[in-house]
Chains A and B, each alone.
Chain A
Amino acid sequence: GDSVTQMEGPVTLSEEAFLTINCTYTATGYPSLFWYVQYPGEGLQLLLKATKADDKGSNKGFEATYRKETTSFHLEKGSVQVSDSAVYFCAPTLGGGSQGNLIFGKGTKLSVKP
């Protein structure tokens, strides 16, 4: 069945370090791909999305590229800040297409130290 595998955390980095959080998925059809972020004590917020192969989603310095051939959607940021400390979730749409319900990974907790 459809599933998503996300890099396990916690990940601890120093400020200005480079961040990669790996995400791979198995899905039928042609899913849309999302990264959501959950800051401490807050709800899920959309970080970025991509809807077709080779699309790059970007927001707040974060980027992820839809790699259909490797079924991956790795999240990257060149220089993390303390304010980026949060839990990050990779989520493709279930059953392909752009409008299905989401399958979430377990989340990767990021802690950035000053």
Chain B
Amino acid sequence: DTGVSQNPRHKITKRGQNVTFRCDPISEHNRLYWYRQTLGQGPEFLTYFQNEAQLEKSRLLSDRFSAERPKGSFSTLEIQRTEQGDSAMYLCASSSLAGGLRGTQYFGPGTRLTVL
């Protein structure tokens, strides 16, 4: 088990540019979650997938945000026309629907986005 990985770890961009982040979950985990964490706060839920289906989106996820999980494995989160308020740590987590640890979410190291 290699854990959840995220790339890139850091991204600095200019306001108005598009950015894309990638998350590779623990293999065979059915569910994949995206959260956003700003400084001094706890993570806030953005969206989650069960296999390739996006089942829930938070109202925090404006229409500039889009997430995909095309084959039920890795996922991408794209932010279009970035704004300074998008600066945050973007966290990915995955969980299994089966087994003794079902429902337990395991987090990746995050991608820190800075919008200048």
A interface list, Cβ under 8 A from B = 32, 34, 36, 42-46, 49, 51, 89, 91, 93-94, 98-99, 101-107
- Contact: A105 with B106, CB < 8 Å? no
Residue numbers in A under 8 Å from B42 (CB-CB): 89, 91, 104-107
In chain B, residues 25-42, which have Cβ atoms closer than 8 Å to a Cβ of chain A? 31, 33, 35, 40-42
* B61 interfacial by beta-carbon distance below 8 Å: no
Residue numbers in A under 8 Å from B43 (CB-CB): 44, 89, 102, 104
Residue numbers in B under 8 Å from A107 (CB-CB): 40-42
> Provided the pairs A101-B48, A102-B45, A106-B40 are in contact, do residues A43 and B95 lie with their beta carbons within 8 angstroms?
no
Query: Which are the 4 A-B pairs with shortest beta-carbon distances?
Result: A104-B42, A98-B103, A99-B103, A44-B107
- Contact: B95 with A99, CB < 8 Å? yes
Residue numbers in A under 8 Å from B109 (CB-CB): 42-43
Residue numbers in B under 8 Å from A106 (CB-CB): 40-42
Determine chain A's interface SS by DSSP, over half rule.
loop
Q: A43-B108, A89-B43, A104-B43 are in contact. List 17 more A-B contacts (CB 8 A).
A: A34-B104, A42-B109, A43-B109, A46-B104, A46-B105, A46-B106, A99-B102, A99-B103, A101-B45, A102-B33, A102-B35, A102-B43, A102-B45, A102-B105, A104-B42, A106-B41, A106-B42
CA distance A70 to B16 in the complex (A): 47
What are 15 A-B pairs at a CB distance below 8 A? A43-B109, A44-B107, A45-B107, A46-B104, A99-B95, A101-B45, A101-B56, A102-B35, A102-B43, A102-B105, A103-B45, A105-B42, A106-B40, A107-B41, A107-B42
- How many chain B residues touch A (Cβ–Cβ < 8 Å)? 24
Partner of B102, one of A45, A98, A103: A98
Residue numbers in B under 8 Å from A101 (CB-CB): 33, 45, 48, 56
- Contact: A104 with B44, CB < 8 Å? yes
For residue A41, which residue of chain B has the nearest CB? B109
Contact pattern, B 48-63, Cβ under 8 Å of A = 1, otherwise 0: 1000000010000000
CA distance A107 to B56 in the complex (A): 25
